[in-house]
A and B are shown apart, each in its own frame.
Chain A
Amino acid sequence: MTRKVVITGLGATTPIGGDVPTMWTNALKGVSGARTLEDDWVAKFELPVHFAARASTPALDVLARVEAKRMDPSTQFGVIAAREAWGDSGITEVDHDRLAVAFATGIGGVWTLLDAWDTLREKGPRRVLPMTVPMLMPNGVAAAVSLDLGARAGAHTPVSACASGTEALHLGLELIRSGKADVVVCGGAEAAIHPMPIAAFSSMQALSRRNENPEGASRPYDKDRDGFVMGEGAGAIVLEAEEHALARGARIYAELAGTSVTADAYHITAPDPEGLGATRALKAAMFDGRVQASDVVHVNAHATSTPVGDKPEYTALKAALGSHVDNVAVSATKSQMGHLLGASGAVEAVLTVLAIYDRKAPVTINLENQDPEIPLDVVTTARDLPSGNIVALSNSFGFGGHNAVIAVRSV
């Protein structure tokens, strides 16, 4: 008998809200978190992209100065989201040897790494901070969350580019099902709005260059989409074995019914044009969660707003859901908050859980002329989801051909 796993705590810090209630209110309203960057490095390096979606609440407004000093910005976001999720779960007593962490990042401590390199070149090795290594390591965020909560059943860091956050939930589910933990704090964090990653993503033509209109730049499914918008922040979810949650009378948002991870093995960055890897991931997550296509009412799509990325996801949804795809309310929330890379799957999982719990699908903004090759039912004003037993899916795909899908069921 497979252990049932439920979701009991949510946390987030994002470009459209520094906590879950603010983010969710804005996600239903439809706002953009993208802004012109005021940093002097934009002009200094003549970056082709002048905007991004920064976290709406700076981490240093939330954390104590001294604790923040020992954390890369990505870890700061992760700890903020994890603390919110943990508080939200209402857990007051836990067997710390049965509490695990699965906290992802796409890039890791890129600010710390590059600041240290600048310091080495400008001031020499003596000035490179002794905390540099623990701050830049990709497992820094999982380690910080583990330390913060006293989680001793392992602190894991799945890294699969922009699928990382979703893969963290996949791992969390496996840890509980296999009996290695009773509670897992899952999530993803990213803070890569730095000139080097912007230059690098730009040179691969992945970023929107709509410099004159940052708020209109992230436009998934629109026929004039020209790339994604860099975002930053973190999302966190407390997963709990159902019997553990019931024993303490917890509020249960939803069931994490199934998850899956597949690899395209097609190209290092380009999605398989037929979406075969994504199709297998969708089918596998549905099989894992005993989900019928007709149960699915909502999809939080990966939909980054790149010209080549959005369509294969539609192809995959059609292949996995058949003709029922026409009845599914699809939200592309990256239209609002940009692409949080390794955090995106975690934040979108939080939105997916709330969509099931509140039975409302969040908004896709900037959809003015829907690409005729992607005839999905895209949610452009907040929409009620049906009553009864319902399921939502959330997809994430990452460079490297990574595909990860979660299926969230109402309880």
Chain B
Amino acid sequence: MASNEEILAGLAEIVNEETGLATEAVELDKSFTEDLDIDSISMMTIVVNAEEKFGVRIPDEEVKNLKTVGDAVSFISNAQA
């Protein structure tokens, strides 16, 4: 099971792969839409890649609640528990 730091690093890699954003820009308090300028289509790609990477399921109706990177890290961490 991955630590929160490992989940953050893994998410940052996924975001970088999808959007080209530097991994350092992907911080816990950053909003996916407001700060990182990620649109809904990129967000769904990131979600599916995160599911595969961390072995979790992120239901579609949950995605709208993942406003910040920290929300996503917490969700994945809890889902793994």
Is chain B found bound to chain A in the same assembly? yes
Binding site for B on A (CB under 8 A): 64-66, 69, 126-127, 129-131
User: Do the beta carbons of A126 and B51 come within 8 Å of each other?
Assistant: yes
User: Do the beta carbons of B20 and A126 come within 8 Å of each other?
Assistant: no
Whole-angstrom CA separation of A281 from B48 in the bound complex = 51
User: Do the beta carbons of B45 and A130 come within 8 Å of each other?
Assistant: yes
User: Do the beta carbons of A126 and B18 come within 8 Å of each other?
Assistant: no
User: Do the beta carbons of A129 and B19 come within 8 Å of each other?
Assistant: no
> Which B residues are in CB contact (< 8 Å) with A129?
45, 48
User: Do the beta carbons of A66 and B45 come within 8 Å of each other?
Assistant: no
In the complex, besides A64-B20, A65-B20, A131-B45, 12 extra interface pairs with C-beta distance below 8 angstroms are A66-B19, A66-B20, A69-B18, A126-B48, A126-B51, A127-B48, A127-B52, A129-B45, A129-B48, A130-B41, A130-B44, A130-B45
Whole-angstrom CA separation of A64 from B19 in the bound complex = 11
Least Cβ–Cβ distance between A9 and chain B, in angstroms:
28
B16: nearest residue on chain A (CB-CB)?
Answer: A66
Least Cβ–Cβ distance between A222 and chain B, in angstroms:
48
A131: nearest residue on chain B (CB-CB)?
Answer: B41
The interface on chain B, measured as residues whose beta carbon lies within 8 A of the other chain's beta carbons, has a size of 10
Interface of B is mostly: helix
Whole-angstrom CA separation of A64 from B18 in the bound complex = 12
Interface of A is mostly: helix
Whole-angstrom CA separation of A127 from B44 in the bound complex = 10
A67: nearest residue on chain B (CB-CB)?
Answer: B20
Binary per-residue interface labels of chain B (2-45) against chain A in the complex, 1 for a CB within 8 Å, 0 otherwise: 00000000000000001110000000000000000000110011
Some 18 contacts from A to B, beta carbons below 8 A apart, are A64-B20, A65-B20, A66-B18, A66-B19, A66-B20, A69-B18, A126-B48, A126-B51, A127-B48, A127-B52, A129-B45, A129-B48, A130-B40, A130-B41, A130-B44, A130-B45, A131-B41, A131-B45
A129: nearest residue on chain B (CB-CB)?
Answer: B45
> Which B residues are in CB contact (< 8 Å) with A131?
41, 45
Whole-angstrom CA separation of A64 from B21 in the bound complex = 13
> Which B residues are in CB contact (< 8 Å) with A65?
20
> Which A residues are in CB contact (< 8 Å) with B20?
64-66
B51: nearest residue on chain A (CB-CB)?
Answer: A126
A128: nearest residue on chain B (CB-CB)?
Answer: B48
B60: nearest residue on chain A (CB-CB)?
Answer: A126
Whole-angstrom CA separation of A66 from B40 in the bound complex = 16
Binary per-residue interface labels of chain B (42-57) against chain A in the complex, 1 for a CB within 8 Å, 0 otherwise: 0011001001100000
